[in-house]
Amino acid sequence: MNYADAPQFNRLYDLRMRPTRGYGIIAAMDTTRRTFIVATAAGVFAGRHLFGQADPGAEPLVRFGMVTDLHYADIDHDPKPLGVVGRRFYRESLRKLGEAVEVFNSRKVDFAIELGDFKDFTRDREGTLKCLDAIESCFARFKGPRYHVAGNHDFDCLSPEEFFSRVPNDGKTCPRGYYSFVRNGVTFIVLNACHDSQMRPYCRCNPWDDANVPPEELDWFKGELAAARGPVIVFCHQRLEDSAEPRHLVRNANVVRALIEASGKVKAVITGHQHRGAYRVLNGIPYYSLRALVCDSGEGANSFAEAAIYPSGAFTVTGWRRAQSCGAKGEFPECGVIAHRGDCAEYPENTLLAFRAAVEKGAEMVELDEWRCKTGELVVVHDGAVDRTTNGKGRISELTLAQIKALDAGSRKSPRFAGERVPTLEEALAVFPKTGIYLNIHCKTGSAAPEVAEMLRRTGRLAGSILMMDRRDALVSLKEKCPWVKTGLVMNTDAGWSKPWTEEEAWRKLRDAASIGVDFVQILPNSHCTPEQMRFLHDLNIRTTYFVANDERTMREISAEGHDFIFTDRFSAMRGFFRARG
């Protein structure tokens, strides 16, 4: 390959060939001294969790712990938020790394790796070296081999020689910053993209957004891939996949990806750098970016992960604290039809009958609505009152649970459904399997959203649940209290349900939603997205739901627009049409 002739950027890709995106979820962890509890799709338990049945009964070939973007320095935290994730709490990284190392030791992982930006600038060179030694000493408490990836901040006031000489990799100094090692038949390759466009290595005051892998390293990388006899995992600090934020992308990432894809051996690419973290699958290869450890402060503020590679090549990540988790492809759908309020065309809306029917008929996602009643319980009803769907009258907030449970929620649909009751949210959750289907919970009582999130965590349903909000302020509040739950924002509600947004308005609102860190956006009627806007969302791993398609023409048009999930009130008919079209 002639690297000199290769273009530096390959930002765009044809929407018709859009790659499969992954199924990242947030797993939360509570700690009481040495007991670590992970809330996962399979329930709350102590120990390792694998997302998806990667290899039933098989033990992983290798398990390893990882952290990234520690930015440790003896300086005050940022006075105001920076970007999507927020402020950096530099001094707290020492404590956070200590917690991660303790977990890695208790889990007996095979090795630990930090993915770059190990330290930050501390007033002067001497102070920076002192902090580097302190954070490396903390990392050295890991009872096994440990490795480092070169990050741009590692050289903000140091030369490569000064940095690499103080951070040995399994006891060895790697002066070039790129190297490989083998564990149980798996080859791990560490790249160093800390070179500017002139292919000069970063050295004291470097351009952080001008990252490149030089030709001699590319040649070495190609040789390492060819020599590998088993599966390969690639590490790099800067992002290597197509990104909507190209400043975090390696400039010749397309060349690196071409080598990765041509080898047929790479099972995952793991990076840091862009602090919010992300997960996607590009041309069949998972790209996992770990959330920065330096971000956030207070109880539960940390981010680290354990990864595993299996004999089949399956790759899984268990995120701890606020890190994202991901797993084997197929645990949750990539796209599909949303049964609005369950199978409401055939059964009374928002009832257990409607939910069971949607599950049995193969819905990819089911939507339901939550309200809080007078006695504090959360019930599933669409309107703020019971008048339209039951034989009763009154606002939900003014009725006790006993009063609501006494109502008939089926007869208005048909006499054959007489006696069907309004379910509580917890009763509704019990109907749904924990994998294979998404649950879209429209939180009508915004203040109850944290309680709903805790219910999902307690019942082991974080992986497949989305909390959808109408109000931006309520969503921001939820993200602050429960950053580990999937969220979505209903777009353009301020303009009403029939007024279309302009392209300029759409960009402003979509970028704002992305800045909050949502996982889904819901597009309302007449508020369409351009291909560039869809690409912007998908590059950030934000998926779309569209409301609503109740006929074949609309379903065909919305599908062609590239939306991931489409609401319908006629689930049986539209699901059959969607499936027939593939």
Residue spans of the domains in the chain: they are: 31-42+62-325, 336-580
Place of tokens 């390492």: 224
Amino acid 335 reads: C
pLDDT tens profile 528-557: 899 999 988 887 778 999 999 999 999 999
Omega before 422 cis (within 30°)? no
Distant-in-sequence, close-in-space partners of 416: CB < 8 Å, separation ≥ 6: none
Tokens read off for 158: 């140091």
| pLDDT reported for residue 83 | 56
Give, in degrees to the nearest 5, the angle at Cα 137 between 134 and 139.
115
If one compares 38 and 230, the residue with the highest pLDDT of the two is 230
Q: What is the DSSP letter of 36?
A: E
Radius of gyration of the chain (CA): 25
| DSSP E strands, 294-384 | 303-309, 315-321, 324-325, 336-340, 365-372, 378-380
> Whole-angstrom Cα distance, residue 127 to residue 518?
38
Banded pLDDT at 382 (limits 50, 70, 90): very high
The overall average pLDDT reported for the chain is: 84
Banded pLDDT at 56 (limits 50, 70, 90): very low
> Whole-angstrom Cα distance, residue 285 to residue 266?
7
Q: Catalytic residue among 382, 442, 528, 563, which?
A: 382
Mean of the pLDDT values across residues 63-73?
Answer: 96
| pLDDT reported for residue 2 | 35
pLDDT higher than 60, residue 22: no
68 near 116, Cβ under 8 Å? yes
Place of tokens 């609503």: 548
Q: Say if residue 536 is exposed, middle or buried (CB neighbours under 10 Å; 0-12, 13-18, 19+).
A: middle
Tokens read off for 174: 């790697």
Residue (of 209, 245, 248) closest to 515 by Cα position: 245
> Whole-angstrom Cα distance, residue 243 to residue 374?
47
382 is catalytic: yes
pLDDT tens profile 438-466: 999 999 998 999 999 999 988 878 878 99
The helix (run of H) or strand (run of E) holding residue 180 is strand 179-183
Q: Catalytic residue among 49, 148, 273, 340, which?
A: 340
pLDDT tens profile 318-346: 888 778 777 654 467 778 999 999 999 99
pLDDT higher than 90, residue 206: no
Distant-in-sequence, close-in-space partners of 250: CB < 8 Å, separation ≥ 6: 193, 211, 212, 213, 236, 238, 239, 240, 256
Give, in degrees to the nearest 5, the angle at Cα 465 between 463 and 468.
140
Secondary structure string (H, E, C) spanning 399-420: CCHHHHHCCCCCCCCCHHHCCC
315 near 60, Cβ under 8 Å? no
> Whole-angstrom Cα distance, residue 226 to residue 263?
7
Residue 417 Cα distances to 352, 409, 420, angstroms? 11, 8, 6
Q: 112 forms bridges with which residues in the sheet?
A: 65, 146
Give, in degrees to the nearest 5, the angle at Cα 386 between 418 and 460.
85
How many Cα atoms are found within 13 Å in the side-chain-facing hemisphere of 289?
A: 24
| pLDDT reported for residue 571 | 94
Was domain 31-42+62-325 assigned CATH 3.60.21.10? yes
pLDDT higher than 80, residue 40: no
Q: 337 forms bridges with which residues in the sheet?
A: 566
| pLDDT reported for residue 379 | 98
**What CATH superfamily classification does 336-580 receive?**
Phosphatidylinositol (PI) phosphodiesterase (3.20.20.190)
> Whole-angstrom Cα distance, residue 46 to residue 42?
11
Percent of the chain whose predicted confidence (pLDDT) is above 90: 61
